[in-house]
Amino acid sequence: MNVKLITEEYLQTHGYDGLWNQDGECACRLNQLMPCDGEGGVDRCQPGYTVPCPEDCDCGGWHIGSAPARATDTYQADVCTA
């Protein structure tokens, strides 16, 4: 068992979709957790949820936010990752 596996298990158990780092403007989903291998400042990452792109976003990717999206949300995602 290593830190990556412990983190993945924790995120899954608590319903998170991945990690995000507001300062580093990066994010990763559970299926590609920590592609930076800890060199991207993973110590500043927080658990997060996949949320829809805001209407004004044309990244063509996905976002990770600090709160789960609900159907009634007008959502400004925290991090966009194409």
**CA-CA-CA-CA dihedral for 73, 74, 80, 82, to nearest 10:** 90
Q: What is the pLDDT of residues 2-20, one digit of tens each?
A: 888 999 999 999 999 999 8
Return the pLDDT at 79: 53
| pLDDT higher than 80, residue 27 | yes
68 confidence band (pLDDT: 50, 70, 90): confident
> If you average pLDDT over residues 43-47, what whole number do you get?
85
Q: pTM above 0.85?
A: no
The b-or-e profile of 24-42 (16+ CB within 10 A means b, else e) is: eebbbbeeebbeeeeeeeb
